[in-house]
Amino acid sequence: MLSKDSHLSDQELLLAADGGLPPVRAEEVASHLAACWTCRVRKGEIEEAIRDFVQAYRGDLDPLLPSPAGPRALLKAQLAEMTAEMASPTQSWRAWRSHVATLRYAGAALFVAFLGLGIYFSPAFPSRRGLHVVPMSFPEPSLTPGVAVAVNPEQVCRSTRPKNRIVPASLQRRVFEEYGIAGAEPRAYEVDYLITPALGGADDIRNLWPQSYSSAVWNARVKDALEDRLHDLVCDGRLDLATAQRDISSDWIAAYKKYFETDRPLQ
């Protein structure tokens, strides 16, 4: 029982406001509040502080939240991958047979590549689904325009996220389908982020493309060097993040030449 001369603690006032008191105690607190101006005023102050905090919390953080579409698609792909991995032996056998079939496709695709389709993929890259093509060094802009999340340079530079993450196999398959090479051998390509996550690139299929390992000159290692260079420039404050994202997504080879001041890869 509360004495008329004593006052409620902030802790009890908060528990009362949040409905966290046991029923008997809640009744005692309610009757005390009805009689005590001081405690009522204090309760009002605490509720006002809660309102202020929630307003500041939401107001500051909500504008930073990126669209859920990319992360949602990535999660679905990863879940499908995990389900497939846990499939029954019968399904594994089917997967193995399908794998053998894709090896045949990949052999044919690489053979065509060696016959001389060129090391640089044409900008007039076919974009229709189902068309068998061999992407080399350059993504198709209509399929892979490059997508970035809303981040500022500070967030990019202090991120501990690995520069290049492994894209789940199911998402890789979707990229291959988009590019019309559904039957290709996954090991012949690196499904790469056009805008690297280290520069704010999104986990979004529109930011992924199959980069061929068979390219002798403008290959994945050269692009990795460009990504490191751009990251350093952005974090040293010598290059605007938006410019880095735009340059790497519009023509990464031209960006390499520009930022390394060379016409050929340095290595």
Between 135 and 201, whose beta carbon lies closer to other proteins? 201
The answer to the question of residue 54 lying near other proteins (CB under 8 A) is yes
**Does residue 236 bind other proteins (CB under 8 A)?**
no
- The region of 58-66, 97-105, 114-122, 253-261 touching other proteins under the rule CB under 8 A is 58-66
Q: Please report, as a single letter, which amino acid is at residue 153.
A: P
Q: In angstroms, what is the C-alpha Rg of the chain?
A: 29
The footprint of other proteins on residues 160-199 (CB under 8 A) is: 160-161, 197
CB 64, min distance to other proteins, A? 6
> H-helix or E-strand containing 206?
none
Residue 63 in contact with other proteins, rule: CB under 8 A: no
Query: Considering the rule CB under 8 A, would residue 242 count as an interface residue with other proteins?
Result: no
* Residue 98 in the binding site for other proteins (CB under 8 A): no
The per-residue b/e assignment along 217-231, b for 16 or more CB within 10 angstroms, e otherwise, is: ebbbebbebbbebbb
Residue 123, class by beta-carbon neighbours within 10 Å (0-12 exposed, 13-18 middle, 19+ buried)? exposed
**Min CB(180)–other proteins separation in Å:** 23
Tally of CB atoms within 10 A around 32: 20
Cβ atoms of 191 and 178 closer than 8 Å: no
Among 5, 18, 236, 261, which residue interacts with other proteins (rule: CB under 8 A)?
18
Give me the amino acid identity at 147.
Answer: V
C-beta neighbour count of 179 within 10 angstroms: 27
Q: Which residues bind other proteins (CB under 8 A)?
A: 9-11, 13-15, 18, 20, 42, 45-46, 48-50, 52-54, 56-58, 60-62, 64-66, 68, 71-72, 74-76, 78-80, 82-83, 86, 149-151, 155-156, 158-161, 197, 200, 203
